[in-house]
Amino acid sequence: MARIKLQDEDTNDPEIHKIFKEIKAKAGKVPAAYRAFARHAHILQANWNRTKNILEKGNIDIKEKEAIATRVSAANECHFCLAIHKGNLEKLGLNASDIQSIEKNEVKDEKLNFVLKFVTTATKNPSKITDHDFEKLKEFGYSEEDIVEILTVMEMYTGYNKIIVALGLQLED
């Protein structure tokens, strides 16, 4: 159960209502995290804009971004986020076995496996990332812009994981 009262989806606040309408159009409903962010309209707007920009733009495809989100959520033990991102991967066409391998950091594809190990290290202990890690990503064909994008996806979901765990959000909230 959430540790704070979440904003109702049927709010009278016009600013929050407008943002919720956009979120509903994309997600079908307003997830609990955004209802928590809506305790302040500017925080809701900032997080929604950040999510849209990071997920909808850039060179890294949405399946890889969702794989990063899944792996980071597992590393941070955010069960709420893990369930959501595993569901997103399923909607994107991945089977249960592939999704479990992402969660457990046991991916057979060498390139994706390295990216997921990289973001796990960046999440848990970024000082352990080495120049060799960056060179290896470049060998896999990632540009420096792509590496910044990978790290930005990791950072966004690590931040969301920490807020969601601290607030005690549950899927049923």
* Tokens (6 digits) for 120: 């796990």
Predicted confidence (pLDDT) per residue in 131-170, tens digit: 999 999 999 999 999 999 999 999 999 999 999 999 999 9
Identity of the amino acid at 97: S
pLDDT exceeds cutoff 90 at 128: yes
For 146-173, letters b (16+ CB in 10 Å) and e give bbebbbbbbbbbbebbebbbebebeeeb
What pTM was computed for the model? 0.95
pLDDT value, residue 1: 86
Q: CA dihedral in degrees (75, 77, 81, 85; nearest 10)?
A: 40
How crowded is residue 105: how many other Cβ atoms within 10 Å of its Cβ?
14
Predicted confidence (pLDDT) per residue in 1-48, tens digit: 899 999 999 999 999 999 999 999 998 899 999 999 999 999 999 999
**Distances in Å between the alpha carbon of 37 and those of 73, 84, 94, 147?**
19, 17, 30, 28
Predicted confidence (pLDDT) per residue in 72-97, tens digit: 999 999 999 999 999 999 999 999 99
Instruction: Give the chain's domains with CATH numbers.
Output: 14-56 (no CATH), 62-167 (1.20.1290.10)
